[in-house]
Amino acid sequence: MGISVIIPVGKNDEAWKSLLHDLCSLDHDDEIIFVSQESAESDFASEVSQIKISAACRWIQSSPGRAKQLNLGAKEATNDSLWFLHCDSRISNHGIKNLRNAISKDSSRVLFFNLKFLNDGLQLMSLNEVGAWIRSRILRLPFGDQGFCLSKTTFLTLGGFDENAPYGEDHLLIWKAHQKRIPIGCVGGGLKTSARKYALQGWSKTTTRHVTLTFRQAVPELIKLLRDRRPT
């Protein structure tokens, strides 16, 4: 049961090196695909060889845009299980084990992790963790920084990530899952992500912006969902 890990890498983003170390416990049947609009970093091969990772590692170039990067990674993946991770994510060996168990129980679901924040932001981030838990576990709207994992068949059924969306391609993918009655489920473990932008841009400003953009995108999708399920 191999897993293809797909990681979009932004310009001059070095966070992939730390994440690569977190993925050392992956098996030889697994693979890690870094997707960037730039060619492979000069130290990519040496980084991979130094940690002696069993999984195959590749770096491929893509057109600009996160959705395009994610879709290209999915297209190039050789395994049926697609695990999309943000470059600044951090995962434990226990989290990877939990993911495998969740896949083996039901591979038809869109899986996600509980969101946790690294200690590189503000103390107020604990409130964001609670908010993310409510959004994903109660409202059933996880975001991409929670590490979506789904089968390639399900991914194709959903049509992949929307490359024309100005933002929130991850959010829209979950709405498509709801509209097509594809179940989503939590792996149960935590996936950590960086909180630096909250410290740099301000907690209140960043949180308010995220909530506002999410609401604007969610309303028409909810209307579409309700319309599709209305009795004829």
For the chain, the C-alpha Rg in angstroms (whole number) is 17
Structure tokens at 232: 């004829």
For residue 227, pLDDT over 80 is answered with yes
Per-residue pLDDT band for 232 (boundaries 50, 70, 90) equals low
**Higher local confidence (pLDDT), 32 or 227:** 32
Give me the pLDDT at residue 230, please. Answer: 74
3 state SS of 6: strand
pTM value is 0.95
Homologous superfamily assigned to 3-228: Spore Coat Polysaccharide Biosynthesis Protein SpsA; Chain A (3.90.550.10)
pLDDT at 40 over 90: no
pLDDT-wise least confident of 8-17, 66-75, 139-148, 158-167:
8-17
pLDDT (mean) for 159-173: 97
pLDDT grade for 123, boundaries at 50, 70 and 90: confident
- The answer, yes or no, to whether residue 231 has pLDDT greater than 80, is no
Q: Of 30, 149, 27, 16, give the one whose Cα is nearest residue 78.
A: 30
Residues above pLDDT 70, as percent of the chain: 100
| pLDDT higher than threshold 80 for residue 121 | no
Determine the pLDDT at residue 223: 94
pLDDT, residue 151, reads 98
Tell me the β-bridge partners of 61.
36
Range 38-61 average pLDDT: 89
**60 confidence band (pLDDT: 50, 70, 90):** very high
Q: Residue 180 — very low, low, confident or very high, per pLDDT cuts 50/70/90?
A: very high
- Beta-bridged to residue 58, according to DSSP, are 33
**Token pair in block for residue 159:** 């049509």
E strands, the chain, are: 3-9, 31-36, 56-61, 81-84, 110-117, 149-151, 184-193
Separation of alpha carbons 45 and 203, rounded Å:
37
Cα gap 151→157, rounded to integer Å? 10
